[in-house]
Amino acid sequence: MTVTEALLWVALPYVATVIFIGGHIWRYRRDQFGWTCRSTQILENRLLAPGSILFHYGTLAAIGGHALGILVPASLTAFFGITEAYYHIISAGAGTVASIAVLAGLIILIYRRATVRRVWVTTTWLDIAAYTALTVVILLGVWDTVVTNTFGGGYDYRSTVAEWFRSLLIFQPKPSLMTNVPFMYRIHVTLAWLLYAVWPFTRLVHAWSAPFQYLGRPYILYRRRFAPSGRFQIGARR
Ligand code: HEM
């Protein structure tokens, strides 16, 4: 194993993960009031609505694709009768649809931030850093899926990138699996770790605070003006 391999495919993932976990704990303890997506919906909603929906649903689809392609071993899908050729069609097709949604959403959101003045003035340097890191990682991922896998010769990342990733999870890293991976895949993965390292210090923390309770909650909550007899209620006549 060369020094570069050890740094990129062993040290970087573990260091980034420690910063990711430690950074979230630090941020939660020090800055709970700042734990927000810093929404600008009140300033502009016409572009935000389609941009945000495309970006977030596209991202959810891409996360699902990553979980299936990277965490599930090829031997398991083969056991259920899914051949490599069949898997390739599904992953390239679904990955391309997810890519189009994420990219379209991202373009709308960046265009909105850059052109709507009152949104732009709320933008900090940290936001610009987060947007840049996200954009580069996403563009590279989309390149891998659409250019290499769907319209190019195809690449079986499950026998290299995915096995390497799972080797990290069980603390038996196999960096040599990454040696011959195409350059654009290697740079996507490397920059993804750097993104994880800055994640806790940006507005991206809102990803862990999705308000799922809103799905089952009515828009308006009605409360009684007068308490049922016998109970004390502040402000009620007695
Ligand atoms: C270390 C973590 C990551 C690994 C190992 C990884 C690996 C991969 C691989 C192998 C592909 C190509 C799939 C194909 O050829 O069809 C891909 C695609 C993609 N990646 Fe990642 N990725 C990681 C993190 C991320 C992050 C953090 C983001 C977003 C911020 C991201 C966004 C994307 C997108 C948008 C695509 C294209 C759509 C798709 O195939 O789902 N990836 N990634």
| Atom 10 (ligand 1) nearest CA | 157
Residue 84 is given by DSSP the state H
Taking the CA atoms of 42, 43, 46 and 48 in sequence, report the sign of the dihedral they define: negative
pLDDT at 232: 56
Report the range of poorest mean pLDDT among 18-22, 35-39, 42-46, 140-144. 35-39
| Atom 16 (ligand 1) nearest CA | 145
Whole-Å CA distances, 105 to 55, 65, 212:
4, 18, 21
Residue 230 reports pLDDT greater than 90:
no
| Atom 40 (ligand 1) nearest CA | 95
Residue pLDDT, tens place only, 44-54 = 999 999 999 99
Residue 83 is given by DSSP the state -
Ligand 1 site residues, Cβ closer than 6 angstroms: 62, 65-66, 69-70, 91-92, 95, 98-99, 102, 134, 137-138, 141-142, 144-145, 149, 155, 157, 161, 165, 185, 188-189, 192-193, 195
Residue 228 reports pLDDT greater than 70:
no
Count CB-CB contacts under 10 A for residue 129. Answer: 13
Over its C-alpha atoms, the chain yields an Rg (Å, rounded) of 23
* pLDDT confidence bin for 213, thresholds 50/70/90: confident
Residues 6+ apart with CB under 8 A from 98: 58, 61, 62, 65, 145
User: Is the pLDDT higher at 11 or at 218?
Assistant: 11
What is the average pLDDT value for the chain, to the nearest integer? 92
Residue pLDDT, tens place only, 55-104 = 999 999 999 999 999 999 999 999 999 998 899 999 999 999 999 999 99
Q: How far is the CA of 183 from the centre of ligand 1 (A)?
A: 14
* pLDDT confidence bin for 14, thresholds 50/70/90: very high
Joined together, the tokens standing for residue 216 give 């089952």
Q: How far is the CA of 141 from the centre of ligand 1 (A)?
A: 5
For residue 53, give the H/E element and its range: helix 48-66
Question: Under CATH, to which class is 3-216 assigned?
Answer: mainly alpha
Q: 134, 144, 169: which to mutate for ligand 1, most atoms within 8 A of CB?
A: 144
| Atom 5 (ligand 1) nearest CA | 189
Ligand 1 atom closest to residue 92's alpha carbon, by position in its atom list: 16
Angle between helices 125-142 and 84-115 (to 10 degrees): 150
End-to-end CA distance of the chain: 80
Ligand 1 atom closest to residue 91's alpha carbon, by position in its atom list: 16
* pLDDT confidence bin for 156, thresholds 50/70/90: very high
